[in-house]
Amino acid sequence: MSSPTPRQTSGQGRLYDSILDTIGNTPCVRINHLAPKHVTVYVKAEFFNPAASVKDRLAISIIEEAERSGALKPGQTVVEATSGNTGIGLAMVCAAKGYPLVVTMADSFSIERRKLMRFLGAKVVLTPRAAKGYGMYAKAKELAEKNGWFFARQFETAANATIHENTTGREIVADFKGKRLDYFVTGYGTGGTFTGVSRVLRKELPQTKIILCEPASAPLVASGTAQVRAADQGPAAGHPAWTPHPVQGWTPDFIPYVLQEGLDKKFYDELIAIAGPAGIEWSRKLAQKEGIFTGISAGATFAVAMQVAEKAPAGSVILAMLPDTGERYMTTPLFEGIAEGMSADEEALSKSTPGYQMPPPAA
C-alpha cells in the first residue's frame, strides 16, 4: 500500500525514565491481504513491548506488586518457571531494577530463549523435558523454598490477570471506542491475558464474543477434567489430557490457577482447538503476506481467527492476540526449510549479472 506523501515522524512528546516505562500501549494492526473480504481483521502486536512479548506486562506487574506488598526485598533473588517469554520479561525487569534472577525451564524449549535470558543477566536452570512443565515448576518452587528466594508464581498470582485488566483490556476498549468489535481471539499460557482482558470486555464490550484456543494435542479445557491442585493453588500434578505440542508458550501440562477464573466464570463463548502445524503455517503467511513477524503461538491464534472470520457475518470485526516475535523460534520447526545458503533461484540471480564473481580485495 503506497503512501500519498512521504512519511514523517514527530516524536512521542515525552522522554522515558526507564525501559520499563515503554511496556504496553501496543498497536492493533489491520490485516490487509490474508483476511476474507467480508470481514475486517486486526491483530494486537505484543512484540512492540520492549522485550518483544506480551509477558513484559506480566513481569513488571509481578515485580512491582511484590515491591508494594513487601514480599520482594531489595536485592532479593527472584525465581520463576517459564517456557521463555516470562523469563525474558523478568530478566529485563530484574536487570532494570537490580534483582538477581534464576529461571527454570524445560530443555525442550528453544535455545535462543535461554540465551536471551542469560544475555540479560539471568541464570537458567534446565529441567528434563520428560518432566514437562510441571517439572520446571516444581524445581522453581524447590529453589525458592531452599534459598528464601521470591517465587514469582506467574501461574497463580493475582498480579497476572490484573495487569491485563488494567492495561491490555483497557487498550482494546480505547482503540475500538466508537467502533464495532465482534470477536476477540486468544490462546492461553498462564491464562492471564484471557482472564484479564475478558473481565474488561464482559463489562465494556459485552457484545464481543470471546474465542479461546488451545492445541488440538493438548485439549486441557475441552477435556473437562479438573486440575489437581496443591494447597497454594499451584498444580499438584500434570494434567492427563496433555501431550507434546509445538506451540511454545501455550498450554503447559496443567491448567493454571489464573486461567481457572476465566473458565469458572465462563468468560469464553467458544473454545476452538488448533493443530500445531497450522500455527506454523499461518505464522509464515503473516510474515510473507503481511510483513508481520511473529511466533508459533501467534500463528496458532491467527489460524483460529481465520476460521472465525470465514464463518462470521459480513461486516464483522475480529481482533487476534499476537503474543511475541518470530525471533524466539529460530531453532524450532517454524524455521525448518529456511536455508542459510542460496537457493538455485538465488544462485541464478547472482550469476545473471557480470559482477557475481567479486574480485579479491586489493592488497
Burial label, 25 (beta-carbon count in 10 A; 0-12, 13-18, 19+): middle
Rounded alpha-carbon distances, angstroms, from residue 158 to 76, 191, 260: 21, 11, 12
How many other C-beta atoms can be found within 10 angstroms of the C-beta atom of residue 287? 15
Burial label, 53 (beta-carbon count in 10 A; 0-12, 13-18, 19+): buried
Active site residue 73: no
Positive or negative: CA dihedral 28, 33, 36, 38: positive
Q: Which of 53, 283, 297, 316 is catalytic?
A: 297
Active site residue 53: no
In which residue are the cell numbers 477434567 written? 225
Q: Which of 44, 55, 139, 141 is catalytic?
A: 55
Integer-rounded Cα Rg, in Å, for the chain is: 22
Q: Are 50 and 36 in contact (CB under 8 A)?
A: no
Those residues whose C-beta lies under 8 Å from the C-beta of residue 165, and which sit 6 or more positions away, are 196, 197, 199, 200
The catalytic site residues sit at 55, 297
